[in-house]
Amino acid sequence: MFALADCNDFYASCERVFNPALEGVPVVVLSNNDGCVIARSAEAKALGIKMGEPEFKCRDRLRQGGVEVFSSNYALYGDMSSRMMATLAEMAPEIEVYSIDEAFLDMSGFGRFDLAAYATEMRRTVRRHTGIPISIGIGATKTLAKVASRMAKKNPASGGVVVLSSPEEIAAALGATPVEDVWGIGRKWSRRLQEWGILTASDFAAAPVSWVRMQMHVVGVRVQAELKGESCLPLELVRPVKQSICTSRSFGRSVVLLEELYQAVATFSGRSAVKLRAEGQMASMVTVFIGSSPFADEGERCWFSRTATLKAPSMDSSVILKTAAAMLEGLFREGFEYRKAGVMLSGMVPRDQPGTTMLLFEEEPDEDRGTRLMAVMDEVNRRYGKSSIRLAAEDMNAWRPVRQRLSPRCSTQWDEILQVR
DNA sequence: TCTGGGGTCCTAGGACCC
DNA sequence: TCTGGGGTCCTAGGACCC
């Protein structure tokens, strides 16, 4: 059996932990640049505030409803997430951290326990240790655990815990789950399935496998098998290394000058390189993209991107920056209002692995110097704080998104604890 | 006027290898 | 008129997840 532990309204709940006055009050959290609603408390949902809705479109409703609105505080959410995961890890033999607010747990050794009672205890413990409310769903596959956790959230009478074990329980749960709410069935596929009269998870489970394979390929077949109780997705105990690393931002204002874009691209190159070294990887490809607002009028809309392969895999910030900067110059076209840029690294190669490709015709003059320099940079930043030293072309402050309603980072910054209301 | 930021996997087709 | 069998790598695009 798998359990899925899933936080309720995670970001909104985090805001409440250090500000109990928010209890019972509608709360929403906004995306970068205070653009869209990305988390809502139950009270905010009841007011009809939609997930992903732009703030400017619901501003009046937010004010009328007395909603407390916050910019996203990733330092706080990340820290609360690790506290919650640490608590869960103590209560199950194996855990897969699936996202910032979800974890799958291995329940296979709990045959002699009352699973529902144990899950209730896990819920209570997480709440006591972290202040975060969670729901727990348990089933024979990850997809069934997802179905169960959705029911635990929807149905208050469940006490936040749903276990699907008997065939009758499973059948009832699948019948009550709209097909678009099945994990792995997104917008496009659910619309297609609905056209064929497949409206619930139970309809989908009953569809002929050959038809599912034709329409949705192996991915759809896997979802279906999981719904039927056949486990295809194992618990992933060690996170695989990332295959790509991306740093990108919307600007919150228009940028027309190449020099300004250069500074943004330099900053994102530096951030991506830091993430790359933290993964212990080297990248062999660098992609740069710049673009207008996707909402710009036809003709003023643009999206340019280019990818270069490095002469040899690298983790050196300055090599990555030089490559990205050269591409930016080729990419840039005057006359557009740019609103977004990003730098992506891919073609990962493990560091310190013998047999990696080396340059054929050139000596590698600065390889060692670059490696040592980066090690020193990372160490200084570890000791004295992020971006204490960086490439001169970077300017994190200039490209930090607007966050006007940020709450204090009171679990990671001593000086901000004093700001707690 | 104002609209986020990360990721994954799969398929199909083209170019190439022996 | 007839024209093999088995691969790899790369790119683009489409679907999905949080």
pLDDT, tens digit, for every residue of A42-59?
999 999 999 999 999 999
Whether A338 sits with its Cβ under 7 A from any strand C atom: the answer reads no
To the nearest 10 degrees (0 to 180), the angle between helices A115-130 and A74-89 is 140
Whether A143 sits with its Cβ under 7 A from any strand C atom: the answer reads no
For A322-332, write each residue's pLDDT tens digit. 999 999 998 99
Q: If pLDDT is split at 50, 70 and 90, which confidence band does A364 have?
A: low
For A143-173, write each residue's pLDDT tens digit. 999 999 999 999 999 999 999 999 999 999 9
Whether A51 sits with its Cβ under 7 A from any strand B atom: the answer reads no
Nucleotide nearest to A189 (CA to C1'): C15
As ranges, strand B nucleotides with an atom below 7 A of a protein CB are 1-11
How many Å from the N-terminal Cα to the C-terminal Cα in chain A? 43
Whether A190 sits with its Cβ under 7 A from any strand C atom: the answer reads yes
Distance of C1' in C2 from CA in A217, Å:
37
Closest CA to A215 of A195, A192, A198: A192
Q: In sequence order, what are the residues at sequence separation of 6 or more whose Cβ sits closer than 8 angstroms to the Cβ of residue A201?
A: A147, A173, A174, A175, A177, A178, A179, A181, A182, A227
Backbone angles phi, psi at A165, to 5 degrees: -120, -50
For A231-256, write each residue's pLDDT tens digit. 999 999 998 889 999 999 999 889 99
- Average pLDDT value over all residues in chain A: 92
Distance of C1' in C8 from CA in A121, Å:
52
Distance of C1' in C14 from CA in A110, Å:
40
Distance of C1' in C13 from CA in A281, Å:
27
Distance of C1' in C2 from CA in A215, Å:
38
**Widest CA span of chain A, in angstroms?**
71
CB A119 within 8 A of CB A3: yes
Flag whether the pTM goes above 0.85: yes
For A11-40, write each residue's pLDDT tens digit. 999 999 999 999 999 999 999 999 999 999
Inform me whether the pLDDT recorded for A87 exceeds 60.
yes
